[in-house]
Structure 1
Amino acid sequence: MTWKTILKDIAFYVIKVLVVLLLIAAAFIGGAMLGYSVIGGAGDPMDVFNPELWQHVLDFIF
C-alpha cells in the first residue's frame, strides 16, 4: 500500500461518516417537524425551531 492509497481510504471513510451524520441530523429534524405539526397537530412545522418550545419541553422533563 502506498501513502496515496492510505490517504484515499481515510478520506473515503471520513466522507462516509460525515454523510451518515448528516442523514441522522436530517432525519431528526424532519421527524421533529413531522411529529410536531402533523402528528401533534400544533400548526406550523417551523415552530420546532423556536427556543421557547424546547425550553417548555425541557421543563416537563426536568
Structure 2
Amino acid sequence: MKHLFSALQSVIAAFFGVQSENKRQSDFQQHSPRSIILIAVGLFILFISAIYAVVAWVLNT
C-alpha cells in the first residue's frame, strides 16, 4: 500500500510540475514505469471526466 501511495504522490507532483529532478529519478528507480504510466492515465481520465461533468452541469443550469 505504501508503494502505491508513493507512486500516486509522484504522479500528482508531476501533474502540478513541482517534482524535483532528483525525486523523479528516484521514483523511476523505485517504481516500474508501467505503474507510473497506468496511474497517470487513470488520473488523467478522472481529471477529464471531472471537467466534462462540471461543464455539463453549468450548461444545464
Normalising by structure 1, we get a TM-score of 0.49
Higher RCO (C-alpha 8 Å, min separation 6): 2
Normalising by structure 2, we get a TM-score of 0.49
